[in-house]
Amino acid sequence: MSEPKPSFLASPRKPALKLPRGACDVHFHVFGPAAKFPFAASRSYTPADAPKEKLFAMHKHIGIDRGVVVQSAAHGFDNSAAADLIAAQKNDYVGVALLPTTVTENELKKLS
């Protein structure tokens, strides 16, 4: 795999339009940090680290209060990075997992 390249704007400007209270980002991904949440060996790309702390800071900056993290194929079936984000702000964030067809009921319960 090639080295990751930054794939997000590190310092977005504040939007001119003030979002309403409770604004929700309904589809985003969280990546890494790779040292804590390794990327899947079979991934087709290697993203730059974009951990929950950067996401929370960006959401606050642009006025997003809630969100839906969608598991990325870059992490494969390991939903740990997304689960860690949700656990950090469980009242404001939910997620969409990526699971194999062989998932067990116990594994599903861990994610709920």
> How far is the C-alpha of 18 from the C-alpha of 21, rounded, in Å?
9
Task: Give the model's pLDDT for residue 23.
Answer: 98
pTM for this one?
Answer: 0.87
Burial 62-77 (b: 16+ CB within 10 A, else e): bebbebebebbebbbe
Whether residue 98 contacts residue 76, with contact meaning beta carbons closer than 8 Å, is answered with: yes
Residuewise pLDDT in 10s, the chain (112 residues): 555 555 667 778 888 999 999 999 999 999 999 999 999 999 999 999 999 999 999 999 999 999 999 999 999 999 999 999 999 999 999 999 999 999 999 989 988 8
pLDDT at 106: 93
